[in-house]
Amino acid sequence: MERKVATERQEAFPITYGVLGLLAFWGPLSGYDLKRLFDHVLAPMWSAAHSQIYNELRRMQTLGWVTMERHEQESRPDRKVYQLTQAGQEALAAWQEQPPGVLQLRDELLLKVLFGSFASPDALVKNLQAGITEHEERLLHYRQQLQHLPVRGMQHQPSGRPNPYATEDTEEDAYFSLIGRFAIEFERMYLKWLRETLEYVEQNARS
């Protein structure tokens, strides 16, 4: 009879840990910095609007996972610089013990190809060509990024206790290389498929 109600609100999501991880790795950062890092470093697996990042930072502050320090500036809004706390570091470590959520791919181009029988060959070809251009640019971007791996700034150590799992700086950066390789392999695979599909569609249009 009774209705279950008010399931406790979850306090953190992948995007939260994205911010947390960036703060742990690159030390104190502003929302603006984080947005740029998100676009560059997390691009292969998660995206976020800047408004969402500012939101998360506020939420994380109330959770006690970060602290904020206001840096005054002339002729520009103050920089609010956020810094990981001990509790934040612990949350990050605890998250790593949990099984990850399922992968999600959302791709309207694939949807259009799937229902390609309802498109004019012209439209399909145009969309496939645009896709090729876009993914070529992505591939280039990721290749350049792998060669110029972002150098680690001062790492924040809230308690003076070092990250217990990290042995060397080079080892930590290796995870970024692994992700970079994933992104490159993904784009290569996607491009190959796009080119084969385009060839098929063009052949089909000519007949």
Binding region for DNA (CB under 7 A):
3-7, 9-10, 13-15, 30-33, 35, 47-52, 54-55, 58, 73, 75-80, 104, 106
Residues that bind a copy of itself (CB under 8 A): 14, 17-18, 21, 24-25, 41-42, 44-47, 89, 92-93, 95-97, 99-121, 123-124, 127, 130-131, 134, 163, 165-166, 171-172, 174-176, 178-179, 181-182, 185-186, 189, 192-193, 197, 200, 204
Closer by beta carbon to DNA, 47 or else 129: 47
Q: What's the rounded Cα separation, in Å, for the pair 55 and 133?
A: 34
Q: Tokens for 110, please give them.
A: 């694939």
Give 10 or 104: the residue with its C-beta nearer to a copy of itself: 104
What burial letters (b/e) apply to 10-22, b meaning 16+ CB within 10 Å? eebeebbbbbbbb
Residue closest to 33 by CA, chosen among 13, 12, 19, 17 = 19
158's contact among DNA, a copy of itself, none, with CB below 5 to 8 A by partner kind, is: none
Q: What type of residue is 38?
A: F
The least distance separating DNA from the CB of residue 53, rounded to whole angstroms, comes to: 9
83 pairs with which residues across the strands?
67
Q: Which does 120 bind (CB under 5 to 8 A by kind): a copy of itself, DNA, none?
A: a copy of itself
Question: Binds 121, which of a copy of itself, DNA, none (CB < 5 to 8 A, cut-off by type)?
Answer: a copy of itself
Contacts of 88 (CB under 8 A, 6+ apart): 20, 23, 24, 60, 64, 65, 66, 158
Given DNA, a copy of itself, none, residue 62, with its beta carbon under 5 to 8 Å by kind, binds: none
Residues near 67 by beta carbon (within 8 Å), at least 6 away in sequence: 61, 82, 83, 85
CB of 100 to a copy of itself, least distance (A): 4
Q: 3-class DSSP state for residue 79?
A: strand
- Cβ-based neighbours of 102, under 8 Å, separated by 6 or more: none
Which value, in Å, is the radius of gyration of the alpha carbons in the chain? Answer: 22
CB of 43 to DNA, least distance (A): 12
Q: Which is nearer to DNA, 79 or 141 (CB)?
A: 79
